[in-house]
Amino acid sequence: MKLSSSKESLTLESSLQAYFYDQLQEFNKKSTQPLSNELVFYSSLVMDHFGDANKYFENVDGKIREKILGIKLMESAQFPKEKQKIILRDIADTALLLCGYFSDSLNKKIIDTKYYQEVGVIAYKRLNSFQPKAYDVEDFFERIAFQFQNVTTLMNLVSVKHVTDPYSLLLIAPSRRVS
């Protein structure tokens, strides 16, 4: 639901994921080569998941720090299959969000988006070898790897929209049951 006045707009959503899905679809529909609904949906899940900052960072020896994705990717091979799937998905999803929604913050770092894109693509491809079907789509994570740059471009458009629209305000309200 969107409420508007002359300058300000207020968006009321029952979930952050639904909000991101709508925002991603808005830009996806304008694309000359739109992504599948499954990829847009998954992207909105990733954005929602990292809405909790505790999932974006890691706690090492009681200190909060950014995840070191390249090292985590190398170390992931030493774990059992089920643990590898969890680690690879975290690496890939973090790289996706970083290269998409937070790509402007990477411009201030020594390591650029190309590095994180490569790490994310490798992680999704490895994840696909463990889980070749997801969301009823064969080679789902391989498709994300193949479309990684297009997905991150879509996420970046949503990010830029939020930065450039200072009057936009989002409220997440719990769903209400109507009897």
pLDDT of residue 161: 81
DSSP bridge partners of 9: 4, 168
85: helix, strand or coil: helix
pLDDT of residue 172: 43
pLDDT of residue 173: 44
pLDDT over 80 (residue 132):
yes
Least Cα distance to 39 among 27, 55, 54 occurs for: 27
Q: Which residue has the higher pLDDT, 123 or 177?
A: 123
DSSP bridge partners of 11: 2, 170
Summarize pLDDT for 90-119 with one digit per residue, the tens.
999 999 998 888 766 666 666 778 899 999
The pTM assigned to this predicted structure is 0.80
Rounded percentage of the chain residues whose pLDDT exceeds 90: 47
Summarize pLDDT for 24-46 with one digit per residue, the tens.
999 999 989 999 999 999 999 99
Q: Could you give the CA distance from residue 86 to residue 76 in angstroms, rounded to a whole number?
A: 9
Packing angle, helices 148-164 and 81-100, rounded to 10: 50
Q: Is the Cβ–Cβ distance between 106 and 114 less than 8 Å?
A: no
Strands (E), 20-96: 57-60, 63-66
